[in-house]
Structure 1
Amino acid sequence: MSIEVKDISKSYGAQKALDAVSFSVNKGEIVGFLGPNGAGKSTLMKILTTFLNTDEGTAEVNGHDVSSAQKNVQKSVGYLPEHNPLYLDLYVREYLAFNADIYKVGKQRIDEVIQLTGLTPEAHKKIGELSKGYRQRVGLATALLHDPEVLILDEPTTGLDPNQIVEIRDLIRNIGKNKTVFLSTHIMQEVEAICDRIIIINNGKIVTDKKLKNITADKEQVIEVEFDLRVEEQLLSQLPDLVNAVNVHDLTWELTFSTTKDMRPALFDFAQQNGLKTLQLNQKNKNLEAVFREMTKKK
């Protein structure tokens, strides 16, 4: 087991950031760790990388306890924090050599991570001269220097343009062929493109933990409907088998039903009975974004 978390709780004063969180990650998995802002994602990642201590519960990384075997955890984990700390006045090779000395790894490894992360054409430049995408590559290269078994990445594509996002996505997917990757992001398309499994946290609690291929495979359907007049959610609640209603835009609703039966005829009947017209009616696949909204919706 690469990561084992058991009943971890963490509070900041009166605010409970994590509430009895438990899960495990197998070797070789790429797991997306999702949740709204303030849900507890960064707190848990900092615990797994020994930057924070738990209030309750235990966690192990590669069999090493994060509280009692911190040095061993740090040796087996590569960490890219959300705000990638870099010395902008250093050259790429100079910065990697500085970190290599800390990890006590040879110069050959510097060349290996430069090639692995696609930094070769920029390796002669100062970090301050690099684009945000290449700075993220430097951060990833640093996290990989000591050849860790587990990579923990906190918002690795934040602030990147679409082309840079694709580049970093491909890089993470390639790295994940040989390592366990545990990553946090707000970009659902990134998760769908990279991850094998999804864990969603909300208000400090795990609300979903499934394989990506199974997360939208429940016996539910999503229909997007646009009416000609405004409709209140209370009126929509009369629809049979309705489990969630999201007002996407003005007159348009995204409705989730807990049945595989085609609910479009029922929506036509509902509109007619309530003096409404349906301007458009589309059956949609239940994607990760819909699942995320449903699981993190404020009660």
Structure 2
Amino acid sequence: MIEVEHLSKIYGSTAAVEDVDFSVEKGEILGFLGPNGAGKTTTMRILSGFIPATAGTAKIAGYDVHEQSLEVRRNIGYLPETPPLYPDMTVEGFLQFVARIKGVARKNRQSRVDWSLERCQLEDKRKVLIRKLSKGYKQRVGIAQAIVHDPPVIILDEPTVGLDPKQIIEVRNLIKSLAGEHTLLLSTHILPEVSMTCDRVTIINGGKVVATDTPNNLMSHLTAKGGYEIEIVGDIFSLEPMLNDLPGISQLEIISNSETKHHTLLLTTDSHQEIGKDIAALIINQGLDLYEMKRTRATLEDVFLNVITEEAATEGKAPILGEKSSLEFDGETGGQGDGE
């Protein structure tokens, strides 16, 4: 439903987007992941017909974004980072207005408005002025205006920015409920957003696509981080060399309390080997008390840092290390947009 090939946008001597390629299949949710300034918003503005590309092609529902702009706009619902709302209109009145300008036939208009109100859980807010709504409800109205004409493709730019944890969960559930009937492109710089919502992930950094795959495949293939965190009590003098000699363990870190003989073992293992039972047996055979043993697996945060670090090394640049101002790891704190 969305096909992007060699897309570029140049401002003077600065490439906001450079040779970007990705596609989104019918009914799929693609997460467009990257730090602020990576090129996400620029790409979405090109796809929505808001700005032209400098080079490359983009098609939505088979229509060329540049050559068939009106057909593209009929086939997309677009939610910018700041929802395009009229605060002095009621929710229902605004959606009636949007349905009319988006070409919904008069006989179908009310049913489409009622449908979007229901999908976005806004039925009890239909007569409320938009300016009186909370930010979470305003975001729902923004999504409702994007779907009121039943477009096959929905483009959402940072849809949960600035929301509280409860509102974030509600909006995520709404987005997931739209999949299947609609194809969604979801831009975000919040890592948990992707793993909780999206079928596939495209990571963009510095205007370039650096990885595309499912969240699980990215976590399993792009980084080998994995292992065990173990809590034990006892004398580990003889245990440490035995663990270091155990096949499959690549790194061992021990955090100890000398007074209580309480130790935390952090083991990094070969992700292709399952050696948990061997580690447990070794600890028990040494007469140590095993209090807790849990697997630690690669996260999307690990993947992102791995990818952009490799990209920076390839280009000879200092790696971007996911500061809070650039990339949110907790999934609940909002940030600013791309700023392009």
Does residue 209 of the first structure (1) align with residue 208 of the second (2)? no
The structural deviation recorded for 1:256 is 7.7
**Maintained 8 Å contact 2:26/2:180:** no
**Maintained 8 Å contact 1:36/1:296:** no
Equivalent in the alignment of 1:289: 301
Does residue 220 of the first structure (1) align with residue 232 of the second (2)? no
**Maintained 8 Å contact 2:2/2:60:** yes
Alignment TM-score, normalising by the size of structure 2: 0.71
Per-residue displacement from partner, 1:134-159 (whole Å, max 9, x unpaired)? Answer: 10110111001111000100000000
Partner letter of residue 110 of structure 1? V
Residues 256, 72 of structure 1: CA spacing in aligned structure 2 closer, same or farther, 3 A cutoff? farther
Residues 93, 17 of structure 1: CA spacing in aligned structure 2 closer, same or farther, 3 A cutoff? same
**Maintained 8 Å contact 1:241/1:259:** no
Runs of 5+ consecutive residues of structure 1 not aligned to the other structure: 226-239, 243-253, 265-280
Residues 258, 18 of structure 1: CA spacing in aligned structure 2 closer, same or farther, 3 A cutoff? farther
Equivalent in the alignment of 1:275: none
**Maintained 8 Å contact 2:249/2:267:** no
The structural deviation recorded for 1:222 is 3.5
Partner letter of residue 138 of structure 1? V
Equivalent in the alignment of 1:65: 64
Equivalent in the alignment of 2:312: none
Number of residue pairs the alignment of both structures matches: 261
Residues 174, 45 of structure 1: CA spacing in aligned structure 2 closer, same or farther, 3 A cutoff? same
Counterpart CA distance in 1 for 2:249 and 2:55 is 40
Counterpart CA distance in 1 for 2:269 and 2:17 is 31
**Maintained 8 Å contact 1:87/1:127:** yes
Q: Which has the higher contact order (CA 8 A, sep 6+)?
A: 2
Equivalent in the alignment of 1:245: none
- SS of 1:284's equivalent in the other structure is strand
Partner letter of residue 27 of structure 2? G
Counterpart CA distance in 2 for 1:180 and 1:174 is 11
Alignment TM-score, normalising by the size of structure 1: 0.80
How do 1:125-164 residues align onto structure 2 when only pairs under 5 Å count?
125-164=128-167
Equivalent in the alignment of 1:200: 203
Equivalent in the alignment of 1:56: 55
Two-structure CA RMSD over aligned residues (Å): 2.7
Of 52-61 and 208-217, the range deviating more from structure 2: 208-217
**Maintained 8 Å contact 2:226/2:270:** no
Residues 134, 58 of structure 1: CA spacing in aligned structure 2 closer, same or farther, 3 A cutoff? same
Residues 194, 220 of structure 1: CA spacing in aligned structure 2 closer, same or farther, 3 A cutoff? same
Report percent identity of matched pairs.
Answer: 44
Counterpart CA distance in 1 for 2:268 and 2:176 is 32
The structural deviation recorded for 1:104 is 2.5
Partner letter of residue 73 of structure 2? Q
Equivalent in the alignment of 2:28: 29
- SS of 2:57's equivalent in the other structure is strand
Counterpart CA distance in 2 for 1:137 and 1:81 is 13
Residues 87, 161 of structure 1: CA spacing in aligned structure 2 closer, same or farther, 3 A cutoff? same
Counterpart CA distance in 1 for 2:50 and 2:24 is 20
- SS of 1:216's equivalent in the other structure is helix
Residues 193, 108 of structure 1: CA spacing in aligned structure 2 closer, same or farther, 3 A cutoff? same
How do 1:44-193 residues align onto structure 2 when only pairs under 5 Å count?
44-105=43-104, 106-193=109-196
Residues 53, 125 of structure 1: CA spacing in aligned structure 2 closer, same or farther, 3 A cutoff? same
